[in-house]
Every structure is written in structure tokens, then in C-alpha cells.
Structure 1
Amino acid sequence: MTSPLLAWLASFLVLAGALVSLLGAIGVVRLPDSYSRMHAASKTGLLGATLILAGVAAASNAEVALEVLLGVLVLLASAPLAAHVLSRAAYRAGIKPQCGSLGDALQQDRDKD
């Protein structure tokens, strides 16, 4: 049985995770190119899932909390790598980013070679 404080903490964490995930979904709809959308989806998806899993850990017993910790570690290891691999594959497939004032650093590196 969890204490009322842990129940409130778990509820807050799950709600915060859902709101962060909602902001990521809005970013996917509103941002201009695939790279910006991928950035919004990967960063907010990771943070939202981590917050939700932390809420699950706070609301459950120690055995489930250990499983949640392992799930968070897998997310922390795989989500940034997956976003990087997808963005590199998109760039190599010819999908160009909308560049601001800083330009396209990958194209500048290719031009040097």
C-alpha cells in the first residue's frame, strides 16, 4: 500500500509525462522539416516516457520499480541513438534540412573533401 504522498507524486509524474508527450506531438505537427520533427519527437518522447515510468515506479512496489528503472535505462540508451541514425539516413537519402543562419554543416564538410 502506498502512502498518500507517493500517490500524489505518482499522479503528478504521470500527468507531467503526458503533458510533455503532448507538447512533443504538437511539435511534430507544427515544426517545418523532418529533422525538427524528429528532434521534437525523440526528446519529448524520451522525457515523457521517463516521467510516466517514474510515476509508475512511485505508485508500485520495489520489484516493479526495479523493472521500471531498467526500462528507463533502455530508453536512455536507445532513443538518442535511434534519432541520430534516422536523421543520418534521411540526410544520406537526400532529404535536406531547412537551414537557418548557421547553414548546413554536413554539406560544408562534404564540400571540403
Structure 2
Amino acid sequence: MRAAVDTAAEVLSAVLLLTGAVFCLLGAVGLLRFPDILTRLHASSKAQTLGVLLALLGAAVRVPFPYAGLLLLIALFQLFTAPVTGQIVGRVAYRTGAVDRSTLTADELAGRLAPPDPEASAEPDDSAGPDGSGGDGSGGAGGRRTG
């Protein structure tokens, strides 16, 4: 009976490890073949994350419990950091103009991340002091920073 459980665990582990490796490979191929930053970001964040999670789960099936718990903590760390990193890279690409906005189906950042208006900062306020803070050195707006 114990041999059957060990064999099933080995098969499950092998299937998870191989499936994870295939997803990692597909993510790498997508990273190389996709045409723009957003599709490459999609390949790296989705397929790569799923591949790493499956590989960690496959390894966790075969190792003793304390190590399996550590592998699952690594998987949770991966789940929390990959989307945040993708979000940051996507926003930086959008702000620096690396994204071709004509290819976007919905541009939800257009109003929120508009480029700064150069005319708004061209004429300084007459009441501003020598440091541009509002005359009294307090940072303007009654001593509170607003920007």
C-alpha cells in the first residue's frame, strides 16, 4: 500500500514539475516573440507565475513537510510580488511612451496619467517667496503640502 502512495506522489510530482516547466518555457517564448511591452508583460507575469507555482507545488509533494511549507511560502511570495512588479513596469512603460496607445482596447490611464501642463508651471505666483513656497517658507496652502 505504501508503494502505491509513493508511486502516486511521484507521478503527481512529475506531472506538476513538467507542466510548470512547460508554462515557464511558454512564458519565455512569449517574452521573446511578442511585439510590444504589454504583451511581453502578460507573458512574463501570467505564464511564468503559473509555471513557477506548479513547479513549487510539484517539489512540495515530494519533500518533507517543513520544507513543503517553506516552498508554499515562496509560492505566496511569488503571488504577491509578480502582479505588483507587472503593475509598476506597465505604468513606467505607459508614462515613458513605450506603449503604443493606438493598440489599446481601453485606455483607463489616459485621464489619470496625463502629461503635466507646461503652461501651469510657466508663470510663478506673485505671492510666492524666493523658494516658491508661498512667501512664509511654510510650503504654501496654510503650511500643508498639497502636491
Question: Is TM more than 0.5 here?
Answer: yes
C-alpha contact 1:20 1:48 (8 A) present in aligned 2 = yes
Matched residue, 2:63: 60
Greater relative CO, 1 or 2 (CA 8 Å, sep 6+):
1
Q: Given the superposition, is the C-alpha separation of residues 101 and 49 from structure 1 closer, same or farther in structure 2, using an over 3 Å criterion?
A: closer
Alignment of 1:1-80 (within 5 A): 3-80=6-83
Task: Name stretches of at least 5 consecutive residues in structure 2 with no aligned partner.
Answer: 116-147
| CA displacement at 1:57 relative to structure 2 | 0.2
| CA displacement at 1:101 relative to structure 2 | 6.7
Task: Name stretches of at least 5 consecutive residues in structure 1 with no aligned partner.
Answer: none
Q: Given the superposition, is the C-alpha separation of residues 43 and 68 from structure 1 closer, same or farther in structure 2, using an over 3 Å criterion?
A: same
Structure 2: distance between partners of 1:58 and 1:101: 41
Report percent identity of matched pairs: 34
Matched residue, 2:109: 106
- Number of equivalenced pairs: 111
| Amino acid aligned to 1:36 | T
CA RMSD after TM alignment:
2.1
Greater share of residues in helix: 1
Task: Report the structure number with the largest CA radius of gyration.
Answer: 2
Q: Given the two structures, how large is their TM-score scaled by the length of structure 1?
A: 0.87
Matched residue, 2:99: 96
